[in-house]
Amino acid sequence: MRAISKALQVSRPGLVKKKRQRSKSYKKNDQELVDKIKTILSDRPTYGYRRVTAMINHSLKSKGDPLVNHKRIYRVMKQNKLLLKKPKIKEKRAHTGKVATITSNIRWCSDSFSVGCLNGERVHIAFSIDACDREVLRYVASTIGIDGEAIRDLMLESVEHRTGKNRLTTPIQWLSDNGSCYTAKETVRFGRDLGLEICTTPAYSPESNGISEAFVKTFKRDYVWPNDISNANARKTRRMV
């Protein structure tokens, strides 16, 4: 503070006084932010400070009010213990490759997962996602499981969705794990007939299909657990992706 006041050639006590006044003004307005943040988190308890900032700024922008910096939202949420807990990071082997691509329709990733319901039922889901724009191309859902036929339907629907045709003119990589529904001979042959280049990840290496794994985690965290999971019908009545 002394160096700043000397460089600006102003009184140091005056700068200190202005700083304290500004701090009191921020703290006074912080309570309004806390109320808005708690309202958002009551509906989306898994949202972090950046998503909360985006939602608050969207509301402020519609009213023509000044936007809020994400650093201020972080400070307010930290002071009120509203931040998400940081996950524990375990030491893993290095993954130097990149799953993401710089343009669309170069690599499509696919994975399957299941959602357990409170009554014991399970909803099984498989999806395809572009490794560049992260658009979920298509998905299939079932209460009895995902087999090769379901994956073949997913492949065809994905190709038709992006190209409007039932066959690719330029090969696109289809990246998945080594599940039997993906590695079945009929599925591999069908994918190649569509123009897909079938690729599988190394065993016990979920990071090699990181885009799909990240989507599954986000989907479960933000759209499954906060909503009704009483039974399979309740899950299927909501749009899955």
Per-residue pLDDT tens over the stretch 79-137? 999 998 887 766 666 666 789 999 999 999 999 999 998 888 899 999 999 999 999 99
At the fourth CATH level, the homologous superfamily of domain 107-236 is Ribonuclease H-like superfamily/Ribonuclease H (3.30.420.10)
pLDDT over 80 at 27, yes or no: no
pLDDT confidence of residue 237: 44
Phi–psi pair at 51, nearest 5 degrees: -65, -40
- Looking at residues 214-228, what average pLDDT do you find? 89
pLDDT band at residue 240, thresholds of 50, 70 and 90? very low
pLDDT confidence of residue 236: 54
**CATH 3.30.420.10 boundaries in the chain:** 107-236
pTM of the model: 0.66
pLDDT confidence of residue 90: 63
For residues 220 and 187, give the distance between their C-alpha atoms in angstroms, rounded to a whole number: 27
- The one-letter amino acid code at 36 reads K
Element (H or E) spanning 162, and its range?
Answer: helix 148-163
pLDDT confidence of residue 1: 62
pLDDT over 90 at 30, yes or no: no
- Looking at residues 48-58, what average pLDDT do you find? 94
pLDDT over 80 at 72, yes or no: yes
pLDDT band at residue 71, thresholds of 50, 70 and 90? very high
pLDDT confidence of residue 241: 42
For residues 228 and 238, give the distance between their C-alpha atoms in angstroms, rounded to a whole number: 9
pLDDT over 70 at 22, yes or no: no
Query: What average pLDDT is seen over the chain?
Result: 87
- Looking at residues 222-226, what average pLDDT do you find? 86
pLDDT band at residue 157, thresholds of 50, 70 and 90? very high
In the chain the first and final C-alpha atoms are separated, in Å, by 53
pLDDT over 90 at 15, yes or no: no
Percent of residues in the chain assigned helix, strand, coil, to nearest 5: 50, 15, 35
